[in-house]
Amino acid sequence: MSRQMRFLERLKIAWQLLIDQTFAEKVQLALEKEKPAPERVHASGLMLLAALQREGRLIDFLRQDIAAFSDEEVGAAARIVHSGSRKVLEQFFAFEPAVKGQEGMLMSVPPGFDAQRIRLTGNVTGQPPFKGTLKHHGWFATTIRMPEFSDALDPRVIAPAEVELP
């Protein structure tokens, strides 16, 4: 009985392999024990790059050799990068300082402090509590609103080429 069941089960899978394209692809993927391609694993990272390029031309800016240009020319381009990239940041995230407090003020670091949020620098010896100066307040993303990206597209296309028709 159980042998026969197993046979029917196998027949069902074989049949599904024949008629169902996506099922067949899944089986093939499993057989090859293939890991998903990096662009699928990191699709949201690529999407962030695409948004920064689209709104702020960030890839253009960083890929260009700017050594030969004047500060004025770099500055003019930086305005585009700044205003566009800032829009993307505001759309996707909300930020607050990793710790509260004015930069330059003295603060105490208690025992059991959050070592991810607070990085100690300078003369790091002994046990907390420590007293120190807040040099940089750090950043913490309080909200993350990443857009939805269609599976049908290749996330490696950061920006399409533009061909203008006359």
Partner 1 sequence: MSQYVVGIDLGTTNSALSDVDLTAPPRHEQNTLAIPQLVAEGTVEERPVLPSFLYLPSAEEFPEGSLTLPWDRSSSVIVGEFARSHGMKVPGRLVASAKSWLSHAAMDRTAALLPWDASRDVARVSPVDASSRYLRHLAGAWDHARPDAPLGDQELVLTVPASFDAAARELTTKSAQHAGFRNVTLLEEPQAALYAWLELAGDGFRDQVQVGDVILVVDVGGGTTDFSLIAVTEREGDLQLTRVAVGDHILLGGDNMDLTLAHILNQELMEKGRQLDALQLNALTYGCRHAKELLFANPDLQKTPISIASRGSALVGGTIKTALTREALTRILIDGFMPIVPMTEMPRTARRTGLTQMGLPYAQDAGITRHLASFLTRQARALAAAHDAPVKLEGKSFVHPTAILFNGGVFKADVLKMRMLDVVSGWLAAEGGAPVKELQGADLDLSVARGAAYYGWVRHGHGIRIRGGTARAYYVGVESPMPAVPGFEPPVKALCVAPFGMEEGTHADVPPQEFALVVGEPTVFRFFASSVRREDNVGDMVEDAARSDELEEVSPIETTLQGESGKLVPVNLQAAVTEVGTLEIRCLEKGGPSRWNLELNVRERT
Q: Which residues bind partner 1 (CB under 8 A)?
A: 47, 50-51, 54, 57, 60-61, 63-64, 66, 69, 73-74, 76-77, 79-81, 83, 91, 145, 147-153, 160, 162
Q: Measured from the CB of residue 27, what is the shortest distance to partner 1 in angstroms?
A: 23
Query: By C-alpha distance, which of 158, 141, 145, 161 is closest to 43?
Result: 158
Residue whose CB is less far from partner 1, 98 or 158: 158
The dihedral built from the CA positions of residue 129, 130, 131 and 137, taken in this order, carries a sign that is negative
Tracing tokens 């006359």 back to the chain, one arrives at 166
Q: Measured from the CB of residue 99, what is the shortest distance to partner 1 in angstroms?
A: 30
Rounded CA-CA distance 158/29 in Å is 26
List the structure tokens of 166: 């006359």
How many angstroms separate the Cα of 74 from the Cα of each of 57, 62, 66, 69?
13, 11, 7, 7
Residue whose CB is less far from partner 1, 11 or 76: 76
Q: Measured from the CB of residue 88, what is the shortest distance to partner 1 in angstroms?
A: 10
Residue whose CB is less far from partner 1, 105 or 152: 152
Q: Measured from the CB of residue 12, what is the shortest distance to partner 1 in angstroms?
A: 28
Query: By C-alpha distance, which of 133, 121, 65 is closest to 73?
Result: 65
Residue whose CB is less far from partner 1, 5 or 161: 161
